[in-house]
Amino acid sequence: MKKLIYMDNAATTPTRQEVLDDMLPYFNIQYGNPSSVYSLGSRSRTAVEKSREIIGNMINAGEREIFFTAGGTEADNWAVRGVAYANKDKGNHIITSKVEHQGIIHTCEYLEKQGFAVTYLDVDEYGIVDLEQLEESITDETILISIMFANNEIGTVQPIKEIGEIAKERNIYFHTDAVQAIGNIRIDVDELNIDMLSMAAHKFHGPKGIGALYIRRGVKIDPLIIGGGQERNRRAGTENVPGIVGMGKAIELAYENLDEKNEKLIQLRERLIKGIFDNIDHVRLNGHPTKRLPGNVNICFEFIEGESLLLSLDMEGIAGSSGSACTSGTLEPSHVLLSIGLPHEIAHGSLRLSLGDNNTAEEVDYVVEKLVGIVSRLRAMSPLYEQFKGGN
């Protein structure tokens, strides 16, 4: 079998061997319940607390401000609903953006049905939120601003410091979905005035099904799950000890030699973009040329369908994505691509290749070579392309 070329690191990443090694004993050797009083249990508790401290340190937060969840979506749901319900006596208005992950957008839509008012900020052609519109949208009723750190589809990094300053000045809670940013960008929650931050381990070579919400001390938020006293009474249920241990190890490894890793990723990214632009006509780069995640490439190939492109790539052993993993499988074009102003037919022809530490320059060149053939074959079958050529 041909070796898989995996370029879908924004959807998920393989768990690192060192992470898995650290997790394994917590399944069947060191398996105690962290709430139990005997040593087997307290050793599990110590492991959980150590991981909490590591994660807190990485974003300049205290360990008592890190709350484990079952992933990024859960953290997003908790931040938005928890703040909405706990602060509804103060106001009912939430500000977010049109390019958020479904974990935020669909939660906000749900809250709208319950009487909350939500402003979805526009973005410019690069996917950056409009700060003027943000300031103008704030009312006495505004209780929360939730803007993602970096976009999962087009990789655009938002002006988080400026948003944090606006939120602080107006005394409004600021949540950021940092699921794509953690492990790729250094984050200091104090410097950026972030009150809540979502993360998920499987996006930085940790296991799936474990994440965390950072909640700044003093933030008024409802508990997520009621039950035992775990996570300081805010998210009850026996802790996912192996997952938590793995998440701590994964975040440590992710921030080791970060600058070096990012330099290499950016080189690969630019090589891939240049390879495509030099060899294929009628393409367009989505997202900002520089304010983007180091490994993100998102390109529209006019006249063809993203889905057909993906299937052809898969036959060559290349894994990529069109739209986002959560919406692929539907025929709706990505809400992110529509928000940056792409017409439907072009948004349909988009391909996201998200690079990771394991990718090489040889892989990048191989993918470019295969893309050239695939795109020309698909265009040869495309009625849209025929029409275009006829018109010229």
Ligand X SMILES: *Cc1c(COP(=O)(O)O)cnc(C)c1O
Q: Is 103 in the site for ligand X (CB under 6 A)?
A: yes
Q: Is 211 in the site for ligand X (CB under 6 A)?
A: yes
Which residue, 13 or 119, is less far from ligand X as judged by CB?
13
Which residue, 92 or 354, is less far from ligand X as judged by CB?
354
For ligand X, the binding residues in 63-82 under the rule CB under 6 A are 71-73, 76
Which residue, 15 or 73, is less far from ligand X as judged by CB?
73
Residue 166 Cβ, how far from ligand X at the closest point, in Å?
A: 21
Kindly tell me which residue out of 16, 203, 335, 379 binds ligand X, with binding defined by CB under 6 A: 203
Residue 127 Cβ, how far from ligand X at the closest point, in Å?
A: 13
Evaluate the CA torsion angle 226, 229, 233, 239 in order and state its sign. negative
Residue 101 Cβ, how far from ligand X at the closest point, in Å?
A: 3
Q: Which stretch binds ligand X (CB under 6 A): 28-36, 85-93, 197-205, 243-251?
A: 197-205
Q: Which stretch binds ligand X (CB under 6 A): 79-87, 199-207, 238-246, 339-347?
A: 199-207
Residue 251 Cβ, how far from ligand X at the closest point, in Å?
A: 14
Q: Which residue has the tokens 């701590």?
A: 248
Q: Is 148 in the site for ligand X (CB under 6 A)?
A: yes
Exactly one of 185, 253, 326, 384 is catalytic; name it: 326
Q: Is 200 in the site for ligand X (CB under 6 A)?
A: yes
Burial degree of 344 (CB within 10 A; 0-12, 13-18, 19+): exposed
Nearest to 285 by CA among 125, 100, 150, 97: 125
Which residue, 200 or 371, is less far from ligand X as judged by CB?
200
Q: Which stretch binds ligand X (CB under 6 A): 30-38, 198-206, 259-267, 375-383?
A: 198-206
Which residue, 149 or 303, is less far from ligand X as judged by CB?
149
As a whole number of angstroms, the distance between CA 313 and CA 367 comes to: 8
Q: Which stretch binds ligand X (CB under 6 A): 18-26, 120-128, 176-184, 255-263?
A: 176-184
Q: Is 180 in the site for ligand X (CB under 6 A)?
A: yes
For ligand X, the binding residues in 304-343 under the rule CB under 6 A are none
Residue 102 Cβ, how far from ligand X at the closest point, in Å?
A: 8
Task: Give me the amino acid identity at 189.
Answer: V
For ligand X, the binding residues in 113-142 under the rule CB under 6 A are none
Give me the residue whose beta carbon is nearest to ligand X. 72
Nearest to 224 by CA among 84, 47, 58: 84
Kindly tell me which residue out of 134, 179, 224, 368 binds ligand X, with binding defined by CB under 6 A: 179
Q: Is 378 in the site for ligand X (CB under 6 A)?
A: no
> Is residue 326 annotated as a catalytic residue, yes or no?
yes
Which residue, 329 or 390, is less far from ligand X as judged by CB?
329
Residue 181 Cβ, how far from ligand X at the closest point, in Å?
A: 8
Q: Binding-site residue total for ligand X (CB under 6 A)?
A: 15
Which residue, 107 or 382, is less far from ligand X as judged by CB?
107
**SS3 readout for the chain:** CCCCEECECCCCCCCCHHHHHHHCHHHHCCCCCCCCCCHHHHHHHHHHHHHHHHHHHHCCCCHHHEEEECCHHHHHHHHHHHHHHHCCCCCCEEEEECCCCHHHHHHHHHHHHCCCEEEEECECCCCCECHHHHHHHCCCCEEEEECCCECCCCCEECCHHHHHHHHHHCCCEEEEECCCCECCECCCCCCCCCCEEEEEHHHHCCCCCCEEEEECCCCCCCCCECCCCHHHHCECCCCCHHHHHHHHHHHHHHCCCHHHHHHHHHHHHHHHHHHHHHHCCCEEECCCCCCECCCEEEEEECCCCHHHHHHHHHHCCEECECCCCCCECECCCCHHHHHCCCCHHHHCCEEEEECCCCCCHHHHHHHHHHHHHHHHHHHHCCHHHHHHHHHC
Residue 132 Cβ, how far from ligand X at the closest point, in Å?
A: 24
Cα end-to-end span (Å), the chain: 44
Q: Is 261 in the site for ligand X (CB under 6 A)?
A: no
Residue 231 Cβ, how far from ligand X at the closest point, in Å?
A: 17
As a whole number of angstroms, the distance between CA 367 and CA 370 comes to: 5
Q: Which residues bind ligand X (CB under 6 A)?
A: 71-73, 76, 101, 103, 148, 152, 177, 179-180, 200, 202-203, 211
What residues are annotated to the active site? Answer: 326
